Amino acid sequence: MPRYSWFDSVPLWAVFAGVLAGILLCVELGHRVGRWRHGRAEREKEAPVGGMVAAELGLLAFLLAISFSLAAARFETRRGVLLDESNSIGTTYLRAAMLPEPHRTEVRRLLREYVDVRLAGARGDAIEAAVRRSEELHGQLWTHATAAAEKDPRSIPTGLFVESLNETIDLHATRLQAALRSRLPSIVWAVLFAVAALSFAMMGYHAGLIGTSRTPATLVLAMAFAIVIWLVVDLERPLKGMLRVSQQPMVDLRNSMAAPEPASRPSGPGTQK
């Protein structure tokens, strides 16, 4: 079943607002501590602290780059697996035409339902029910494939159909893993937020230590960081958010299945050429 966490239930706008508010709070707390130290520790030099702040911000940028790279790679993987699955289902649907009746008609009906289930699951509507129904359809399709193979074990068309059906079933597990079970570990999020809090607190501490007033540049930097975090979170949510894998390949496949099948051409002595 899909793997969810409490973080997935937080709206994206709340993630952005919470990260921005947390950053500004850390800066403010650091600034106040820095002002307090400024009046009591005359020997503390600002130059080493400034170097530490630069190092921590560099480390934060490095962690952000890694997190974004992992999330973007998973997004591309989901898009590639979707295209592979739609191609595999389409091949299976075409090869089903070579099966004997009644398997041909029933298999094609099941494949049309299978695509409908996949599209419903991609919209986020009862995803667990969609996964269960997909697995049930696998069993029914495999039953028809087994029956056709037992009827004619040496049939090459049946063997080709079984091969494409097996690939379709395998891609179901691959897509499920890529879309719902392969996520950034919680420890990565914890480390990222911890380093961000320490980095911005140190930045505020440095400003307070040298006695400077609060600058609007801090708000700009905080918003830039919050936007990047929002983007990474959006990429990590395949069923929600603004950045979602287009289901157009699967939609096009379903439309081609809905098109009327061409009538078979007559054959025999009376056929006109």
pLDDT for the residue numbered 141? 93
Number of domains the chain is built from = 1
CA 200: distance to chain centroid? Answer: 29
Answer whether residue 126 is part of any domain. yes
- Of 27, 9, 5, nearest to 202 by C-alpha is 27
The reported pTM is 0.76
What's residue 271's pLDDT?
43
Q: List per-residue pLDDT tens for the chain, 273 residues long.
A: 445 555 667 778 888 899 999 999 998 898 888 877 766 655 555 556 677 888 888 898 899 999 899 888 888 998 899 999 999 999 999 999 888 888 889 999 999 999 999 988 887 667 888 888 999 999 999 999 999 888 887 788 888 999 999 999 999 988 888 877 777 888 888 899 999 999 999 888 888 877 776 677 888 888 998 999 999 888 887 777 777 888 899 999 999 887 555 444 444 444 443
Tokens coding 208: 């307070």
pLDDT of amino acid 265: 40
Position 266 in a domain:
no
Domain with 252, as residue range(s), is 10-258
- Quote the pLDDT of residue 83: 93
Helix axes 46-95, 216-235, angle to 10 degrees: 20
Is residue 16 one of the residues assigned to a domain?
A: yes
Per-residue model confidence (pLDDT) at position 3: 52
Would residue 273 count as lying in a domain? no
Number of helices (H) and strands (E) in the chain: give both, helices first. Answer: 8, 0
Judge whether 188 lies within some domain: yes
* 31 within domain boundaries: yes
* The CA-based dihedral angle spanning residues 130, 72, 196, 63, taken in that order and rounded to the nearest 10 degrees: 130
Is residue 207 assigned to a domain?
yes
Question: What are the φ/ψ torsions at residue 9 (nearest 5 degrees)?
Answer: -85, -10
Whether residue 264 is contained in a domain is answered as no
Whole-angstrom CA distances from 212 to 25, 38, 205 are: 17, 11, 10
